[in-house]
Amino acid sequence: MHFFTGVSTIASVLTRRVWINQVHFKWYPNFYIVLVAEPGIVSKSTTMDIGMRLLRQVPDVHFGPSVVTWQALVTKFAASKSAFEFPPGETKFVIQSALTLAASEFGNLVNPTERETIDLYVDLWDCRTGVLEKLTKTSGHDKVENPYINMIACTTPAWIAGTFPDYVIGGGFVSRCLFVYAEAKEKLVAYPSRHAPPDFEDTGRRLIEDLIEMSKMIGQYELTEEAYQWGEEWYQILWKGKPAEMADERFKTYLSRKQTHIHKLAIVLAASQSDHLLITDQHLFLANKMITDLELEMPKVFAKIGRTEQSVQAERFIKFVEKRGNVSFGEAYQYVHSAFPGFRDFENIVAGACKAGYIHFDGAMLKSLKK
């Protein structure tokens, strides 16, 4: 989560000033990053705010509304219009409308059931060159010229399960998002102030200076020949076989955009290391590794969508036994009694968990079989 907060922070200062040209389209370094964890497990909002506090001290970074309707979003875009000189040294200017969206609650930015808002996010993520026109109640006919949107937000698996219809998972919006999932703290730190390095404030100032310098970078990123070779080989592997964790058909659309995610991230990695507009095979290798690592947890993010309440509670029961190791039948029934008021229903859940190999029941005690 710290890594991808850093990615989002850098992406907000790069904007449309840098790109990879693919003739028919360009890859720009913008992202929709969603930090996902159960409440109170990891400090999602605190982590996100580390990057956003730095970003707010960089000139000419425009933040969108913290609660979004598509009308408010379009109005903010229209107000964020700026220009930069390209090629540098000439009197030619490129117009762009760049916004950063950051929210501790993903639901403040996205309502998956509002088709018009979702379609707008899909259009904006691609950063197409041209003018996006929308009619708004407040200012009439707003025009968004050459939009660039970068988003980071926080949520829980329960919110996703309760809000995202199943059909949305395989759609265009979710495939454009990177979901960063955590189910446990990396380490236990009771008092962060006691672990802060003595040069903490100085490091913050230097990071802001770096972000300001990155915001001045302009031009097209080129790939080295080794990077092209790596990308060609990777592309063949991608389309010849799905990884096991991505076998669900709902992730098919995401896989079709994985190449785009990797090259967007490669731009950010290259910009974080050098002023030279050059992407190496090592940048692509690391970008692929970081994004592939996210895929291992993606099924957990969407696991509860479309499931019955009984199946969700059955999973909760199994996790309870796994955590305890050994637990009496009576104690386990007390733990989930409200979900299974019928004793026969609970017996069926226990029998199913035994058949699936999750637990062993000897008539009195339940034992976890998790290794």
Quick one: which of 266, 260, 265 has its CA closest to 172? Answer: 260
Model confidence at 104: pLDDT above 90: yes
2-220 maps to which CATH number?
3.40.50
- Average pLDDT along the chain: 88
pLDDT at 335: 83
In whole angstroms, what is the distance from residue 235 CA to residue 227 CA?
12
Place of tokens 């939009």: 147
In whole angstroms, what is the distance from residue 208 CA to residue 58 CA?
7
Extents of the domains making up the chain = 2-220, 309-368
On the question of a common fold for 2-220 and 309-368, the answer reads: no
Tell me 243's DSSP state. -
pLDDT at 71: 79
Tens-place pLDDT, residues 307-366? 666 777 777 788 888 888 888 988 888 887 776 667 777 888 888 889 888 899 888 898
Segment 22-45 shows an average pLDDT of 93
Residue bearing the bigger pLDDT, 153 or 140 = 153
Pairing between strand 365-368 and 326-328? antiparallel
pLDDT at 114: 83
pLDDT at 70: 76
Segment 105-117 shows an average pLDDT of 87
Range with the lowest mean pLDDT among 57-61, 248-252, 298-302? 248-252
pTM of the model: 0.83
In whole angstroms, what is the distance from residue 368 CA to residue 74 CA?
53
DSSP bridge partners of 134 = 142
Tens-place pLDDT, residues 159-198? 888 888 766 776 788 899 999 999 888 888 889 899 999 9
Whole-angstrom CA distances from 178 to 212, 213, 231, 275, 289 are 25, 26, 20, 26, 13
The CATH fold assigned to 309-368 is Arc Repressor Mutant, subunit A (1.10.10)
pLDDT at 224: 98
pLDDT at 308: 62
Range with the lowest mean pLDDT among 37-41, 219-223, 260-264? 37-41
If pLDDT is split at 50, 70 and 90, which confidence band does 109 have? very high
Q: What is the 3-state secondary structure (H, E, C) of 94-130?
A: EEEEEEEEEECCHHHCCCCCCHHHHHHHHHHHCCCCC
Tens-place pLDDT, residues 197-244? 999 999 999 999 999 999 999 999 999 999 999 999 999 998 887 666
Residue 217, SS3 per DSSP:
coil
**Exposed/middle/buried for 155, CB within 10 Å: 0-12, 13-18, 19+?**
buried
In whole angstroms, what is the distance from residue 290 CA to residue 298 CA?
13
